[in-house]
């Protein structure tokens, strides 16, 4: 049986449409193609509509052929649309390319904590970990707390105006954080484990290693059976946390009016690892001594406890240790800050080096 | 203090190197600062020589050409310039290659045509004296030529420089230092050089020659004097000169050298008077009359306040007690009668005098630590022996001794068990015993775990209680041998308090928003406060400031931030964002400083927790830039809202409800500043604002915005922050409505928001102003704000009708403040 002309025409139409789809270069052209071949006025639509006019024996074959052409054409157009859209996206993305080496929008450039704050927090955290509570106290202080209750006799030279800033006969700027030992004990009975960071003042003319204001961290532990060995253990933990796990501490006899026995505490040098030498040169940090003096400490003098006896500190029943360290000294040692005066100059070039 | 090691070894030689001795001292309480050598280099280049003959140099009148036997077999030729050189002398010879004390190396040299191979030495060239008038001529003493010079003279010595703590006047003498070496090492200790006296001679009595009297017993505890006659003043022998030189004292004459030597040996300073120059042969100790003057030994005329103790003769001052003698009765070459003073002064008085005069001497450094009156007689004994031995003097019988309140030896009890419980390690009784005895304590055990110790006078100031004895035992035993243990903890838990945690959070918030923390001095200048229009009279003033720059305690943090801003701006670093977290200070108000009484009087007794000033912890920030410039955006200059944004963030973190009221401080832009108040009680929490342009100009800082908050007040507001518990997250949808309103310029956003809230009732969850517009069509003095309102009910979905009803209520409320909804 010969193919009906209508079916042949449909096949030609199909081939023509396929060629047109393939030739399109953009989605908009494709829409034209779709309207031309599948639109309401297209030949294919007309053919489908006029199937009924065909002889009955041709209707089935032509109808199937027309549907097949339509379905294939729709599929092809969909595919072509997808492919063109992908091409276009790729082109657009290519055009959107940026210079990835340019700086990003700052979320906001982070600022910095002052070096002293950073070290202070580090020390606080170490001692909190060791079971100490952090206290703060007044910087404008009574002579009583700063000297008298700390067992400084009335003639002690530290009381002289050459060594202490006075606001009145009996009121001064604290010269150390130690007055908080007495205030803390007055405020609550034993056991007590506290550290006290804060500003202290001495009338030293500023030079590389002296400034009239600096920071200390005081420690105090009083209980029934605190020993000098406990002081050594606590300071060993502190030294290892701050200066590195292989540090040693060394206790030497010292002298402070408010501790007895008094000790000076050295830590093995963390630059030369306690050898005193870096290569063949003398270690610049410990000056070849292998040890660095880091703080003063001792067992709380019974006379000091005597001042707070009615708060529960009977020197025959409780005992303990106290220590005090300079935060700036640790800054100088650990970070090599050469001149203390720089710390209060607040030059942003220095501020930005620490505490991010 | 300089401790010559050879001298130290003469009292106690532990068979250790100087470095090891230094370690012993450091670890037992005498901190060694430095260990160094003094004197010549390698001593083997220095030998005893004999001058065989000395002839005049053919080409130079003043030079001699000497042939010297130095024991090497062949006599060496040495050209010598000393006038006293002569054949037959036993002399000190330096061979070529010798290194002199000043570090120069001796070479062979031709002097006016004659080759000189070595040098005949004067004592100053050896560093053992100061004499340069001629070569040192030695006693023959059977020293053959070639004998190392070091066997005859201490030409090389090691020196230990030590730092003596104020509690150790006993260690201000070489013998005291030797005692510590003995106590630690157990090496034998020589007999105390002050133990022996000398027999006086003659039938007269010291009282017949002179009279001493203490007129003021508050400055002098004891005044002893001895009289010496037939004194031959001259140079000291080489051994004495060498010890003084090594210890850093210049030899002067035998009498003066003896006073210094005794001081360096046992720590008791002495003073020698030419008794014939002591007017009235009478010494009186008294305080100075105001403005009294005297010329001291150093040739300086000094004036005194009435606190200064003076040693006077019948016509006036002849010495500053315990510090320095006067010229008036100084020992000279002509002196034949000496009055030797050994006194005990009150330490604090000497320290005040020494500081007030700016005159710190070897004597004052010892007296200020407080010496025991017994030591005065110890010094007299050693001095007397040397006066007789070295000056041919006759000690007149009797000691003039003004000693109004004799001090009895101190006895201290020690419970042996306390040693272990304090140190963390028990110590055997016999070790305790041995250590204390080596330190000079007389120890008597009582057989029941206690002992009583009699304190040697030189340690009396430092050892008065059981704890002090335990320290003695511990420092000799070795503190470094104690175990490292941790406290057996009871009850206490380590933590930061909530206020401390909050402060860290706030500081971190500022840091993370691009601000860098500064630390500025707590004191400032009155003129700085003037520049801020803050009255300096209200600030706490320091009586003895280092300078006017730091003479008042700052009542706010801003001046420190401004200083930092000026410093950085002046160095070309713009775009500053700075903050500080620190105390500010003000006088204690009524009800503070204890019970409201005068804090000064209060502190006479125990203040019992009272605070002498009003101190608050503040947090302040200053910015010249809100956002930095980037390659695609301009920098934004900091204005009021930049600072306010930071305050909003901080107070949100703190969980504080607050409000801003216009106007704040005289140093701020009057139209762009606000007081920050707590919403609940209206308490002032701080301020926000742009710097007043005049203030910025006077401080030489760029335009800036700043804020300052009272961190203590914030903490007090919200003591149980973050403990509200869970709040239901409702799932009923919100209705969002945007409205635009037009109001007069003078109506603040806060008032508009309050009106909106009043009208909207409790269905309104949030209101946010998202646009502000001014334009001609609104008319002058009017502004338009766009608000986004969010309505929500916890229990149902809102209907349009409900929201519309609210909207008309809002409209009515806005009408009351002259506002109208915009179409
Ligand atoms: Zn080192």
Interface residue B516 vs chain A (CB under 8 A): yes
A226-245 residues touching B, CB cutoff 8 A:
226-230, 232-234, 236-237
Is residue A106's pLDDT more than 80? Answer: no
Q: What is the pLDDT of residue B701?
A: 92
Task: Give me the mean pLDDT over the A115-121 stretch.
Answer: 96
**Centroid of ligand 1 to alpha carbon of B551 (angstroms):** 40
In chain B, what residues touch A170 (CB-CB under 8 Å)?
A: 599-600, 603-604, 612
Q: What is the pLDDT of residue B113?
A: 85
Task: Give me the mean pLDDT over the B812-821 stretch.
Answer: 88
Q: Residue A182 has which token pair?
A: 């007495």
Interface residue A99 vs chain B (CB under 8 A): no
**Among the partner residues A166, A170, A251, nearest to B479 by beta-carbon distance:** A251
CB–CB of A232 and B347 under 8 A? Answer: no
Among B478, B509, B612, the strongest candidate for a mutation testing the A interface, having the largest count of A CBs within 10 A, is B612
Q: Which residues contact A336 (CB under 8 A, 6 or more apart)?
A: none
**% of chain A with per-residue pLDDT over 70:** 97
CB–CB of A128 and B352 under 8 A? Answer: no
What is the ipTM for the molecules in this complex? 0.86
| Beta strands A192-201 and A133-134, pairing class | parallel
In chain B, what residues touch A250 (CB-CB under 8 Å)?
A: 480
Q: Which residues pair with B614 in a beta bridge?
A: B586
Q: Which residue has the higher pLDDT, A312 or B630?
A: A312
Alpha carbon distances (Å) from B228 to B163, B232, B244, B344: 35, 10, 23, 21
**What string of H, E and C letters represents the secondary structure of A255-292?**
CCCCEEEEEEEEEECCCCCCCCEECCEECCCCCCCCEE
**Centroid of ligand 1 to alpha carbon of A326 (angstroms):** 19
**Centroid of ligand 1 to alpha carbon of A282 (angstroms):** 8
Q: Is the dihedral of CA B606, B608, B611, B616 positive or negative?
A: positive
Residue A324's pLDDT band (cuts 50, 70, 90):
very high
Interface residue A328 vs chain B (CB under 8 A): no
B363-382 residues touching A, CB cutoff 8 A:
368
**% of chain B with per-residue pLDDT over 70:** 96
Q: What is the pLDDT of residue B725?
A: 65
Q: What is the pLDDT of residue A91?
A: 87
Q: Which residue of chain A has the CA closest to B552?
A: A167
Give this prediction's pTM: 0.84
Query: How far A167 CA sits from the closest chain B CA (Å)?
Result: 5
Q: What is the pLDDT of residue B37?
A: 83
Alpha carbon distances (Å) from B397 to B223, B273, B331, B357, B585: 17, 18, 21, 37, 67
pLDDT tens string B95-136 = 988 888 888 888 888 888 888 888 998 888 888 888 888 888
Interface residue A173 vs chain B (CB under 8 A): yes
Interface residue B608 vs chain A (CB under 8 A): yes
Interface residue B574 vs chain A (CB under 8 A): no
Q: Which residues contact B476 (CB under 8 A, 6 or more apart)?
A: B28, B180, B183, B184, B435, B438, B439
Interface residue A322 vs chain B (CB under 8 A): no
CB–CB of B486 and A233 under 8 A? Answer: yes
Interface residue B678 vs chain A (CB under 8 A): no
**Among the partner residues A155, A168, A230, nearest to B486 by beta-carbon distance:** A230
Q: What is the pLDDT of residue B491?
A: 64
Burial of A34 (0-12, 13-18, 19+ CB in 10 A): buried
Interface residue A54 vs chain B (CB under 8 A): no
Q: A141 and A173 in contact (C-beta within 8 Å)?
A: yes
Q: What is the pLDDT of residue B602?
A: 47
In chain A, what residues touch B352 (CB-CB under 8 Å)?
A: 160
Task: Give me the mean pLDDT over the B43-60 stretch.
Answer: 88
Q: Choose from A58-67, B469-478, B621-630, B653-662 the range with maximum mean pLDDT.
A: B469-478
Query: How far B427 CA sits from the closest chain A CA (Å)?
Result: 13
Phi, psi of A22 (to 5 degrees): -65, -30
CB–CB of A143 and B603 under 8 A? Answer: yes
Residue A182's pLDDT band (cuts 50, 70, 90):
very high
Q: Which residue of chain B has the CA closest to A203?
A: B546
pLDDT tens string B146-160 = 888 888 777 888 999
Q: What is the pLDDT of residue B562?
A: 97
Q: Measured between alpha carbons, how far is B258 from B714 in angstroms, rounded to an integer?
A: 71
Query: How far B600 CA sits from the closest chain A CA (Å)?
Result: 6
Query: How far B612 CA sits from the closest chain A CA (Å)?
Result: 6
Q: Which residue of chain B has the CA closest to A263?
A: B479
CB–CB of B517 and A114 under 8 A? Answer: yes
Task: Give me the mean pLDDT over the B536-557 stretch.
Answer: 95
Task: Give me the mean pLDDT over the B239-252 stretch.
Answer: 90
Among B466, B607, B623, B646, the strongest candidate for a mutation testing the A interface, having the largest count of A CBs within 10 A, is B607
CB–CB of A252 and B486 under 8 A? Answer: no
Q: What is the pLDDT of residue B496?
A: 92
CB–CB of A108 and B514 under 8 A? Answer: yes
Q: Is the dihedral of CA A181, A183, A189, A195 positive or negative?
A: negative
Interface residue A307 vs chain B (CB under 8 A): yes
Is residue A98's pLDDT more than 80? Answer: no
CB–CB of A111 and B576 under 8 A? Answer: no
Query: How far A10 CA sits from the closest chain B CA (Å)?
Result: 57
Q: Which residues pair with B445 in a beta bridge?
A: B451
What 3-state DSSP class applies to B83? coil
pLDDT tens string B369-382 = 999 999 999 999 99
In chain B, what residues touch A282 (CB-CB under 8 Å)?
A: none
Is residue B746's pLDDT more than 70? Answer: yes
Nearest to B174, CA basis, from B27, B25, B371, B312: B25
In chain A, what residues touch B492 (CB-CB under 8 Å)?
A: 131, 133, 191-193
Q: What is the pLDDT of residue A26?
A: 79
Q: What is the pLDDT of residue A155?
A: 86
Q: Which residue has the higher pLDDT, A244 or B151?
A: A244
pLDDT tens string B392-420 = 999 999 999 999 999 999 999 999 999 99
pLDDT tens string B562-602 = 999 999 999 988 889 999 999 999 998 754 444 444 544 44
Q: Is the dihedral of CA B541, B542, B547, B550 positive or negative?
A: negative
**What string of H, E and C letters represents the secondary structure of B133-176?**
CCCCEECCCCCCCCCEHHHCCCCEEEEEEEECCCCCHHHHCHHH
Q: Measured between alpha carbons, how far is B187 from B2 in angstroms, rounded to an integer?
A: 22
Task: Give me the mean pLDDT over the A294-312 stretch.
Answer: 95
**Among the partner residues A116, A134, A170, nearest to B600 by beta-carbon distance:** A170
Among A108, A140, A170, A207, the strongest candidate for a mutation testing the B interface, having the largest count of B CBs within 10 A, is A140
Interface residue A149 vs chain B (CB under 8 A): yes
Count other Cβ atoms within 10 Å, centred on residue B796.
Answer: 10
Interface residue A160 vs chain B (CB under 8 A): yes
Q: Measured between alpha carbons, how far is B385 from B200 in angstroms, rounded to an integer?
A: 10
E strand segments, B631-773: 636-637, 658-662, 668-678, 684-691, 705-710, 735-744, 764-773
Instruction: Using the CB atoms, write b or e for A154-164: b if 16+ within 10 Å.
Output: eebbebbeeeb
Angle formed by the axes of helices B466-477 and B174-185, to 10°?
70
**Among the partner residues A108, A227, A347, nearest to B568 by beta-carbon distance:** A347
**Centroid of ligand 1 to alpha carbon of B24 (angstroms):** 21
Nearest to A248, CA basis, from A236, A259, A260: A236
Q: Which residues pair with B138 in a beta bridge?
A: B90
Interface residue B347 vs chain A (CB under 8 A): yes
Q: What is the pLDDT of residue A24?
A: 83
**Among the partner residues A102, A183, A351, nearest to B518 by beta-carbon distance:** A351
Q: What is the pLDDT of residue B599?
A: 47
CB–CB of A112 and B582 under 8 A? Answer: no
Q: What is the pLDDT of residue B591?
A: 46
Interface residue A133 vs chain B (CB under 8 A): yes
Q: What is the pLDDT of residue B723?
A: 55
**Centroid of ligand 1 to alpha carbon of A253 (angstroms):** 22
Among A261, A310, A317, the strongest candidate for a mutation testing the B interface, having the largest count of B CBs within 10 A, is A261
B67-86 residues touching A, CB cutoff 8 A:
none
Task: For chains A and B, count residue pairs whose Cβ atoms are closer than 8 Å.
Answer: 291
Q: Measured between alpha carbons, how far is B9 from B21 in angstroms, rounded to an integer?
A: 10
């Amino acid at each position: 049986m010969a193919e009906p002309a209508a079916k042949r025409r449909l096949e030609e139409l199909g081939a023509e449409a396929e060629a047109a789809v393939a030739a399109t270069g953009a989605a908009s052209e494709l829409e034209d193609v779709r309207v031309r071949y599948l639109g309401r006025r297209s030949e294919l639509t007309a053919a489908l509509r006029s199937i009924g006019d065909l002889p009955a024996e041709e209707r089935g074959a032509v109808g199937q052929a027309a549907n097949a052409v339509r379905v294939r054409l729709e599929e092809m157009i969909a595919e072509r649309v997808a492919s063109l859209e992908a091409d276009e996206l790729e082109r657009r993305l290519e055009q959107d390319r940026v210079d990835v080496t340019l700086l990003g929008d700052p979320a906001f450039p982070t600022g910095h904590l002052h070096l002293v704050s950073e070290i202070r927090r580090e020390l606080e955290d170490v001692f909190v970990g060791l079971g100490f509570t952090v206290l703060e106290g007044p910087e404008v202080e009574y002579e009583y707390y700063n000297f008298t209750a700390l067992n400084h006799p009335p003639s002690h030279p530290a009381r002289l105006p050459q060594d202490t800033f006075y606001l009145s006969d009996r009121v001064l700027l604290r010269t150390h954080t130690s007055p908080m030992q007495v205030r803390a004990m007055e405020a609550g009975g034993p056991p007590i484990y506290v550290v006290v960071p804060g500003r202290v003042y001495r009338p030293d003319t500023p030079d590389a290693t002296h400034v009239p204001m600096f920071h200390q961290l005081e420690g105090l532990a009083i209980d029934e059976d605190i020993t000098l060995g406990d002081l050594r253990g606590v300071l060993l933990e502190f030294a290892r946390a701050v200066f590195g796990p292989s540090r040693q501490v060394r206790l030497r006899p010292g002298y402070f009016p408010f501790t007895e026995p008094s000790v000076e505490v050295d830590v093995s040098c963390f630059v030369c690892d306690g050898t005193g030498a870096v290569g063949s040169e003398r270690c610049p940090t410990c000056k070849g001594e292998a040890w660095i003096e880091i703080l003063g400490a001792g067992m709380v003098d019974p006379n000091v406890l005597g001042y707070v006896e009615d708060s529960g500190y009977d020197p025959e029943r409780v005992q303990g240790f106290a220590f005090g360290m300079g935060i700036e000294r640790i800054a100088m040692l650990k970070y090599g800050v050469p001149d203390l005066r720089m710390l209060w100059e607040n030059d942003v070039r220095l501020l930005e080096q620490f505490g991010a | 203090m300089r401790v010559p090691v050879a001298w130290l070894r003469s009292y106690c030689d532990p068979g250790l190197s100087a470095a090891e001795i230094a370690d012993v001292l450091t670890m037992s309480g005498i901190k060694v600062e430095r260990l160094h050598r003094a004197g010549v280099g390698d001593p083997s280049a220095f030998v005893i020589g004999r001058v065989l003959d000395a002839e005049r140099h053919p080409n130079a009148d003043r030079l001699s050409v000497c042939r010297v036997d130095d024991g090497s077999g062949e006599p060496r030729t040495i050209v010598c310039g000393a006038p006293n050189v002569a054949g037959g002398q036993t002399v000190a010879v330096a061979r070529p290659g010798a290194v002199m004390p000043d570090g120069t190396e001796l070479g062979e040299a031709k002097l006016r045509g004659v080759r000189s191979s070595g040098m005949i030495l004067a004592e100053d060239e050896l560093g053992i004296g100061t004499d340069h008038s001629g070569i040192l001529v030695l006693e023959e003493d059977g020293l053959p030529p070639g004998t190392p010079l070091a066997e005859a003279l201490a030409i090389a010595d090691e020196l230990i420089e030590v730092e003596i703590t104020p509690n150790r006047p006993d260690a201000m003498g070489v013998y005291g230092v030797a005692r510590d070496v003995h106590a630690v090492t157990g090496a034998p200790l020589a007999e105390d050089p002050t133990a022996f006296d000398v027999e006086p001679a003659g039938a007269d009595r010291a009282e017949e020659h002179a009279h001493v009297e203490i007129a003021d017993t508050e400055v002098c505890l004891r005044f002893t004097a001895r009289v010496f006659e037939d004194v031959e003043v001259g140079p000291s022998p080489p051994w004495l000169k060498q010890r003084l030189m090594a210890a850093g004292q210049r030899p002067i004459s035998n009498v003066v050298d003896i006073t210094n030597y005794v001081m360096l040996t046992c720590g008791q300073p002495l003073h020698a008077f030419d008794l014939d120059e002591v007017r009235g042969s009478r010494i009186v100790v008294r305080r100075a009359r105001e403005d009294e003057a005297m010329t001291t030994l150093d040739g300086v005329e000094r004036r005194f306040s009435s606190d200064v103790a003076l040693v006077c003769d019948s016509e006036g001052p002849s010495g500053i007690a315990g510090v320095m003698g006067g010229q008036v009765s100084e020992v000279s070459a002509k002196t034949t009668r000496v009055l030797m003073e050994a006194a005990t002064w009150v330490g604090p008085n000497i320290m005040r005098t020494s500081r007030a005069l700016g005159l710190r001497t070897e004597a004052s450094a010892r007296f200020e630590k407080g010496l025991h009156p017994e030591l005065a007689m110890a010094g007299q004994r050693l001095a007397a022996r040397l006066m007789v031995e070295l000056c041919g003097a006759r000690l007149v019988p009797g000691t003039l001794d003004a000693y109004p309140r004799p001090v009895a030896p101190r006895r201290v009890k020690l419970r042996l068990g306390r040693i272990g419980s304090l140190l963390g390690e028990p110590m055997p009784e016999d070790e305790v015993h041995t250590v204390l005895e080596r330190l000079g304590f007389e120890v008597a055990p009582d057989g029941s775990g206690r002992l009583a110790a009699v304190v040697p006078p030189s340690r009396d100031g430092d050892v008065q209680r059981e704890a002090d004895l335990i320290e003695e035992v511990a420092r000799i035993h070795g503190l470094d041998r104690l175990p490292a243990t941790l406290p057996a903890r009871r009850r206490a838990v380590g933590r930061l308090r909530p206020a401390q945690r909050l402060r860290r959070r706030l500081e971190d918030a500022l840091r993370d928003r691009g601000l860098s923390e500064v630390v500025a001095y707590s004191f400032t200048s009155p003129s700085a406060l003037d520049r801020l229009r803050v009255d300096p009279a209200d600030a706490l003033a320091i009586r003895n400031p280092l300078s006017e720059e730091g003479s008042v305690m700052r009542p706010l943090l801003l001046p420190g931030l401004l200083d930092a801003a000026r410093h950085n701006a002046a160095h070309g670093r713009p775009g500053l964002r700075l903050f500080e977290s620190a105390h500010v200070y003000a006088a204690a108000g009524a009800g503070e400083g204890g019970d409201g009484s005068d804090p000064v009087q209060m502190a006479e007794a125990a203040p019992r927790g009272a605070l002498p000033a009003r101190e608050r912890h503040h947090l302040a920030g200053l910015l010249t830039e809100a956002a930095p410039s980037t390659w695609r955006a301009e920098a934004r200059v900091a204005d009021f809202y930049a600072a306010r944004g930071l305050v909003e963030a901080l107070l949100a973190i703190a969980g504080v409800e607050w409000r801003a009221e216009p106007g704040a401080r005289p140093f701020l832009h009057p139209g762009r500043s606000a007081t920050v108040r707590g919403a609940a009680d209206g308490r002032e929490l701080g301020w926000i604002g742009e710097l007043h342009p005049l203030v910025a100009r006077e401080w030489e800082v760029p335009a800036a915005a700043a804020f300052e908050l009272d961190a203590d007040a914030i903490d007090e507001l919200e003591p149980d922050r973050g403990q509200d518990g869970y709040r239901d997250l409702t799932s009923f949808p919100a209705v969002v409505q945007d409205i635009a309103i037009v109001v007069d310029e003078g109506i603040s956003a806060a008032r508009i928001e309050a009106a909106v809230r009043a009208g909207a009732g409790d269905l309104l969850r949030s209101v946010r102003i998202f646009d502000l517009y001014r334009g001609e069509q609104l008319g002058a003095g009017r502004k338009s704000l766009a608000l986004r309102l969010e309505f929500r009910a916890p229990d149902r979905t809102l209907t349009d009708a409900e929201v519309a009803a609210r909207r008309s209520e809002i409209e009515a409320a806005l009408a009351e403040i002259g506002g109208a909804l915009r179409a």
